[in-house]
Amino acid sequence: MQTSEISSRVLARAEELLSCGKVQMVIGWRKGLFDYDITPSLFTTSDDLKKNFVYNEWCGANLSKYLVKETRAIETAKDTVRTNNKMAKMKNPDATDAPEPSAKVLVFLKPCDTYSFTELLKEHRIFRDDVFAVGIPCDGMKDPEKKEISERCTVCKSKKHITYDELIGEDGDVQDSKRFDMVEKIESMSPDKRFAFWQNEFSRCIRCNACRDVCPACTCERCIFDNPKSGASQKVAADDFEESMYHIIRAWHVAGRCTDCGECSRVCPQNIPLHLLNRKFIKDINELYGPYMAGSDMETKPPMLNYQKDDAEPSIIKEAK
């Protein structure tokens, strides 16, 4: 399918679902000032969709994390009505119940976005009933800065949609990706060289937290780095060592849950290849606990949360070699 054809089908479906009342809002992509500066956005009217909705090669932003906020708002609205109804009944047993607001949010998910969506569902961060998910095809997204296909898309892991209610176009397959090549290259460096490599990368960090804030695996109610009571709270850290720790701690926190969507590196204003840290963890997990892909299904237990007697002990394995 041509990009323009996909785009018009996606838009038509959004308008249809909104006007027939199947959904009350749409999370999609909004046109920018130029062709490349697309903003993820909420649409509630057909007019707005017609004028401003867009789906093209610049729509790299993964929309799945926004569902945490949107579906929670829907559930809160329902809870409020339920509570009010209960209280009304306490005053007057004959009071009629106000109808619970029913709202559904339509979201468009590219194949890799469905991995994040599935992982979030698995972690009970999204209320599935409040979402209508439409899987859409993707031929790779462009990097606004370089104006060419992003690195993450050149090593695309899958064109297969995992969780969805409806699909536009044909579903694809899991790809034979070369995404671990760069990890292997870094692994083969001497410890000193590797340390220098990461020191150079982290030295540019401005600690804007964009990597964390965009990450679909980072959905803690209160991140330990934001919580003064955690004992680990920091804005910009006191020194460079602490600063590197932020990235390493974050990589640990998402280990076994990161779907390798690559949003962390996409948003980094300093082009730090943060996804390589996560990929290293994915590669290690694959080697130590057997192949595992976060977000690829709703059933398998994540290796980091699933203790088995024959689990590998990384340090012992290293010594045995």
Partner 1 sequence: MYSLPLNKLDTLFETVGAEKPLYIPADNSSGKADFTRWKKGVKLSKTLKTVRSAKDFFFPKTENLVNYKVDGKKIEIEDPRKELEDFVVFGVRACDAASFTIVDNVYINQTPCDTYYKNRREHSTVITLACTEPVQTCFCKLYGIDAADPKGDVSAWISDDTVYFNANTDKGKNFIAGINALLTKSDDSGVVKQQQETRSRISELPFVNLDISKFTGDNMMKLFNSKVWEDLSHTCLGCGTCTYVCPTCMCFDVRDFDTGNGIKQFRCWDSCMYSDFTKMAAANPRLTQKERFRQRFMHKLVYYPMEHDGVKSCVGCGRCLESCPIHMNIVKVIKTLNETPLEEK
Considering the complex, state which of residue 189 and residue 317 has its C-beta at the smaller distance from partner 1: 189
Of 217, 216, 234, which Cα lies nearest the Cα of 225?
Answer: 234
> What CA–CA distance (Å, rounded) separates 3 from 137?
9
For the bound state, the minimum distance from the C-beta of residue 218 to partner 1, rounded and expressed in Å, comes to 11
163, 64 contact by CB (below 8 A):
no
Query: How open is the CA angle 292-60-158, to the nearest 5 degrees?
Result: 30
DSSP letter, residue 279: H
Which is nearer to partner 1, 82 or 193 (by Cβ)? 193
Name the β-bridge partners of 40. 29
Contact 272, 205 (CB under 8 A): yes
Judged by CB, which is closer to partner 1: 107, or 293? 107
Q: How many CA atoms lie less than 13 Å away from 58 in the CB half-sphere?
A: 18
Q: Which residues bind partner 1 (CB under 8 A)?
A: 32-34, 37-42, 61, 66, 144-145, 200-201, 204, 206-210, 212-214, 226-228, 233-239, 242, 266-267, 269-272
Query: Please, which residue, 120 or 214, has the CB nearer to partner 1?
Result: 214
Q: Which two tokens stand for residue 83?
A: 């509570």
Q: Write down the least CB distance from residue 284 to partner 1, Å.
A: 25
Output 57 or 289, the one with its CB closest to partner 1.
Answer: 57
Give least dist CB 290 to partner 1, A.
34
Q: Tokens 């959905």 map to which residue? A: 219
d(CA 139, CA 4): 12
Contacts of 78 (CB under 8 A, 6+ apart): 100, 101
In the complex, the smallest distance separating the C-beta of residue 133 from partner 1, rounded to whole angstroms, is 18
Task: Provide, rounded to whole angstroms, the least separation between the CB of residue 212 and partner 1.
Answer: 8
Q: Which two tokens stand for residue 158?
A: 């899958």
C-beta of 120: minimal distance to partner 1 in Å?
Answer: 16
Nearer to partner 1, 263 or 289 (CB): 263
